[in-house]
Amino acid sequence: MSTTTQIERPDYGIDAPGVVRSLTAGGVVSLLAAVASSWSGVAWAAIGLALVAVVLLMEAALMLHNSWRGKFQHRDRILDHVSWRGDERVLDVGTGRGLLLVGAAKRLTSGHAIGMDIWSTKDLSGNAMERTAANLVAEGVASRCELVTEPAQNMTFAAGSFEVILSNLCLHNIRSASERVRACMEIARVLKPGGVAVISDLFFTRRYAETFRAVGLSISIDGPCVWSVFPPQNIVIARKLK
């Protein structure tokens, strides 16, 4: 009699779950108000509320679609900006449940990837180091990866530690503009000469680019990426000259 080990399927969670809940709740409330207005004979109010409901529910649906499918396509778009050899040392800033980290690790042979986060459940449902570790095992890349708890603006890595630095939907969650600049400065500091940082985000990407350019990195921007991801994002590609 043979036994098999059941490997749990990877789960990368719902992005911005609070926003999705708010949009859904607002859409439902607006729809109910539209029905009530229709029954009261206030046609103009019913039409306006119905339109609001449609917009809110569509946005919630698009965000869910992004969490279930779109972000996987966008992950590959981010990774395609790196000319992979397979021996790189990689840092994923704000790794969440490891979607980008796993994608990078699958492109490595002798390289090593570190996923860094502070594990906020506000930004991603079920965001916890243990769940990320389980995804690494389920995807078969645990031996090439490591997880650490650190904020992006206060890294303990030595200067020039990584050939590749990745980040998706992380830096905008840092509330202070000065702290976001500090996070970009840290990314530039720990990036190895000749290396590349690929940063995708909803907001502030022009400011990221300005900060990287100010410390001598070569900058290009891909985006806005509209069709593969919702809400749309820009990708900043920052190369540190040798």
Interval 215-239: pLDDT, tens: 999 999 997 776 667 788 899 999 9
Q: Are 62 and 90 members of one domain?
A: no
Tell me, what's the pLDDT at 86? Answer: 96
DSSP character at residue 83: -
The pTM score is 0.81
> What average pLDDT is seen over the chain?
89
Residue 7 has pLDDT above 70, yes or no: no
**Does residue 1 sit within a domain?**
no
The CA–CA distances, whole Å, from 65 to 26, 30, 110, 118, 186 equal 18, 22, 34, 25, 33
CA atoms of 151 and 102, how far apart (whole Å): 20
Per the structure, the count of domains in the chain is 2
Looking at the chain, the whole-number percentage of residues with pLDDT higher than 90 is 62
Which backbone phi and psi does 33 adopt, to 5 degrees? -65, -35
225 three-class SS: strand
101-130: average pLDDT: 90
Q: Are 64 and 90 members of one domain?
A: no
- Judged by average pLDDT, the poorest of 60-74, 116-130, 140-154, 215-229 is 60-74
Which backbone phi and psi does 114 adopt, to 5 degrees? -115, 130
Residue range 146-199, pLDDT digits in tens: 999 999 999 999 999 999 999 999 999 999 999 999 999 999 999 999 999 999
Last residue of a domain, one of 31, 47, 73: 73
Residue 175 sits in which domain range?
Answer: 84-239
Last residue of a domain, one of 73, 99, 114: 73
CA atoms of 112 and 91, how far apart (whole Å): 9
**Does residue 9 sit within a domain?**
no
Ordered DSSP codes for 110-129:
S-EEEEEE---TTTBTT--H
- Judged by average pLDDT, the poorest of 17-26, 34-43, 96-105, 120-129 is 120-129
- 45 falls in which pLDDT band (50, 70, 90)? confident
Q: Are 66 and 112 members of one domain?
A: no
Q: Are 92 and 185 members of one domain?
A: yes
Tell me, what's the pLDDT at 2? Answer: 35
The residue whose two tokens read 């021996």 is 87
Instruction: Find out whether 6 and 137 touch, Cβ atoms under 8 Å.
Output: no
Q: Are 69 and 171 members of one domain?
A: no
Residue 58 has pLDDT above 90, yes or no: no
Tell me, what's the pLDDT at 6? Answer: 44
Beta bridge partners of 46: none
- Judged by average pLDDT, the poorest of 38-52, 79-93, 134-148, 203-217 is 38-52
Q: Are 41 and 88 members of one domain?
A: no
Q: Are 52 and 97 members of one domain?
A: no
**Does residue 204 sit within a domain?**
yes
Looking at the chain, the whole-number percentage of residues with pLDDT higher than 70 is 94
Q: Are 178 and 226 members of one domain?
A: yes
Q: Are 66 and 94 members of one domain?
A: no
Q: Are 120 and 99 members of one domain?
A: yes
Instruction: Find out whether 104 and 92 touch, Cβ atoms under 8 Å.
Output: yes
**Does residue 151 sit within a domain?**
yes
* Pairwise pLDDT comparison (25 vs 59), residue with the higher score: 25
In this structure, the strands spanning 218-225 and 233-239 are antiparallel
Instruction: Find out whether 186 and 154 touch, Cβ atoms under 8 Å.
Output: yes
Residue 71, Cβ neighbours under 10 Å: how many?
25
Residue 135 has pLDDT above 70, yes or no: yes
Tell me, what's the pLDDT at 224? Answer: 79
- For residue 55, the number of C-alpha atoms closer than 13 Å in the C-beta half-sphere is 7
**Does residue 78 sit within a domain?**
no
**Encoded tokens for 236:** 């900043």
CA atoms of 238 and 242, how far apart (whole Å): 13
Tell me, what's the pLDDT at 4? Answer: 37
Instruction: Find out whether 87 and 111 touch, Cβ atoms under 8 Å.
Output: yes
Q: Are 97 and 69 members of one domain?
A: no
The CA–CA distances, whole Å, from 188 to 51, 135, 179, 211, 230 equal 45, 28, 14, 9, 28
